[in-house]
Chain A
Amino acid sequence: TQTVSQSDAHVTVFEGDSVELRCNYSYGGSIYLSWYIQHHGHGLQFLLKYYSGNPVVQGVNGFEAEFSKSDSSFHLRKASVHWSDSAVYFCAVRTNTGKLTFGDGTVLTVKP
């Protein structure tokens, strides 16, 4: 069975700062890794995903994530955050059976 861990429940940065949101997973087989953003009162919106190939993947709005097999990680990064990036971010793991498991989320607060 797969598990997803997001070690930081809350992250606060200032506008223009860089940010890294951490995600670690455990699963023995092939997986798809993805990140989602959720603004208050809305559903989840897809940011980016990784399955194979280049371990650094680019997503929407300047986000990128890096896969590390040795660390079982898929951390999300952004070089310069904007106040509109304030939201909850979820890391997710999907197996070949289609089962999709989420971490508990990280609340990102961007201060002006």
Chain B
Amino acid sequence: DMKVTQMPRYLIKRMGENVLLECGQDMSHETMYWYRQDPGLGLQLIYISYDVDSNSEGDIPKGYRVSRKKREHFSLILDSAKTNQTSVYFCASLSRQAPLFGEGTRLSVL
């Protein structure tokens, strides 16, 4: 069964701490995405990855970076997290049918 796995599901951090959000898929999909979702704003694209070490900025990349060293894993990194990065983060991978989404990581930055 095709599935995108996000870890952790819930995370609380203090302002200034580093944050690592992880996403995995075992379907060997080339293209993967990171989004954030805030109330009333829908999903905003942070980064898109076309394959290992082939990443492109999305619409709101500032304050984020990504890492994709293996096709199956796509990480989102917040260096020195800010309170305005409190949000729900979704990872997705592109199947032949359509992008498949993980269940999200709810991040609170205090």
A43 in contact with B103 (CB, 8 Å) = yes
- Check: A34 CB closer than 8 A to any chain B CB: yes
Q: Report the Cα distance A90→B100, complex, angstroms.
A: 14
Central interface residue in A46, A94, A98, A104, by most chain B CB within 10 Å = A98
B98 in contact with A49 (CB, 8 Å) = yes
Return the CB mask of A78-104 against B: 1 if under 8 Å, else 0: 000000000000100010001111111
Q: Report the Cα distance A100→B45, complex, angstroms.
A: 8
Residues of A contacting B101 in the complex (Cβ-Cβ under 8 angstroms): 36, 43-45
Interface of B is mostly: strand
CB under 8 Å from chain A, chain B span 8-29: none
Q: Which residue of A lies closest to B90 (CB)?
A: A43
Residues of B contacting A69 in the complex (Cβ-Cβ under 8 angstroms): none
Interface residues of B, count at CB 8 A = 24
- Check: B58 CB closer than 8 A to any chain A CB: yes
The minimal Cβ–Cβ distance linking A102 to chain B, given in whole angstroms, is 4
B40 in contact with A101 (CB, 8 Å) = no
The minimal Cβ–Cβ distance linking B107 to chain A, given in whole angstroms, is 15
